[in-house]
Structure 1
Amino acid sequence: MNQISANRRSGPVLITLLISMCVSDGRNITVRMGSGVMLPCSCPHVSSLLSWQKGITIVYSDRRNSAETSADQQYSGRTRVLESNCSLVLSRVQPSDEGEYSCYYQTSSFSVETVTLHVTADASCEYKSGLYHCKATWGSPEGWIVWRLNGQSKFLHSVFFQRKLDEDSGLYIINGSANITSNGAVTCEVETSGKTVEIECNRKCA
Structure 2
Amino acid sequence: MRSNKKFQVTGPLDPIVAVLGGEAVLPCSLFPAVSAEDMELRWFRSKSLETVFAYQNRQEQKEEQMTPYAGRTSLVGNRLNQGYAAVRIQRVQASDNGLYTCFFRKGHFYEEAGLELKVAGVGSAPQVHITGPEEDGVRVVCTASGWFPKPQVQWRDLSGEKFLAFSEAHTQDAEGLFSVEAALLVRDSSVGNVTCSILNPVLGREKAMAIFIPEPFFPQASPWKVAFSVSLTVLVILLLGAGCYTKREHSIKMQVRGEKETLCETSEQDRQTKEEVLKDAVMLQVQLSQLYSLYPWLRDNLQAQPDEFFTWPVTLDPGSAHSDLVVSHEKTSVTLKASCVNTADTCSVLGFEGITSGRCYWEVEIRDGDQSGWALGVCGEGVNRKGWVALVNAGASHESGMYNCPSQRGKQRFFLSTVLSEITVTHRSPSPSELKIPGAPLELVRPYLVAPV
> TM-score range, shorter-chain basis?
0.5 to 0.7
Q: Distance in 2 between matches of 1:103 and 1:176?
A: 41
2:117 aligned partner? 117
1:77 aligned partner? 71
User: Aligned AA for 1:145?
Assistant: V
Q: CA deviation at 1:123?
A: 2.8
User: Aligned AA for 1:50?
Assistant: L
2:437 aligned partner? none
Q: Distance in 1 between matches of 2:165 and 2:182?
A: 8
Is the 8 Å Cα contact of residues 162 and 174 (structure 1) preserved in structure 2? yes
Is the 8 Å Cα contact of residues 170 and 178 (structure 2) preserved in structure 1? yes
- 2:55 maps to which of 62, 74, 99: 62
2:377 aligned partner? none
Whether 2:41 is the aligned partner of 1:50: answer yes
Q: CA deviation at 1:115?
A: 0.7
Is the 8 Å Cα contact of residues 36 and 89 (structure 1) preserved in structure 2? yes
How do 1:41-190 and structure 2 match up within 5 A? 41-43=28-30, 44-55=35-46, 56-69=49-62, 70-85=64-79, 86-107=85-106, 109-125=109-125, 135-138=144-147, 143-146=151-154, 154-155=162-163, 169=175, 171-174=177-180, 188-190=198-200
Is the 8 Å Cα contact of residues 138 and 173 (structure 1) preserved in structure 2? yes
User: Aligned AA for 1:84?
Assistant: N
Q: 1:122 to 1:3 in 2, by over 3 A?
A: farther
Q: Distance in 2 between matches of 1:157 and 1:189?
A: 18
Measured on the aligned residues, the alpha-carbon RMSD in Å equals: 4.6
Q: CA deviation at 1:126?
A: 7.9
Decide which structure has greater helix share. Answer: 2
The TM-score with structure 1 as length reference comes to 0.58
Q: CA deviation at 1:148?
A: 7.0
Question: Which deviates the most, 82-91 or 63-72?
Answer: 63-72
Is the 8 Å Cα contact of residues 94 and 175 (structure 2) preserved in structure 1? no
Deviations 1:4-25 (A, max 9, x none): 9xxxxxxxxxxxxxxxx96636
Q: Which has the larger radius of gyration?
A: 2
Q: 1:27 to 1:199 in 2, by over 3 A?
A: closer
Q: Distance in 2 between matches of 1:100 and 1:113?
A: 11
SS state of the match for residue 74, structure 1?
helix
Deviations 1:32-89 (A, max 9, x none): 3333211111253434211101131111111143354341112112211112242111
Is the 8 Å Cα contact of residues 127 and 201 (structure 1) preserved in structure 2? no
Whether 2:2 is the aligned partner of 1:3: answer yes
What is the percentage of aligned positions where both structures have the same residue?
A: 21
User: Which is bigger in relative contact order (C-alpha 8 A, separation at least 6)?
Assistant: 1
2:10 aligned partner? 24
Decide which structure has greater strand share. Answer: 1
Q: Distance in 2 between matches of 1:170 and 1:188?
A: 18
Deviations 1:150-175 (A, max 9, x none): xx7645589xx875665x75644336
What runs of 5+ residues in structure 1 fail to find an aligned partner? Answer: 5-20
Q: Distance in 1 between matches of 2:96 and 2:176?
A: 15
Q: 1:154 to 1:64 in 2, by over 3 A?
A: farther
Q: 1:60 to 1:153 in 2, by over 3 A?
A: farther
Q: Distance in 1 between matches of 2:71 and 2:152?
A: 33
Is the 8 Å Cα contact of residues 32 and 120 (structure 1) preserved in structure 2? yes
SS state of the match for residue 39, structure 1?
strand
Q: How many residues align?
A: 178
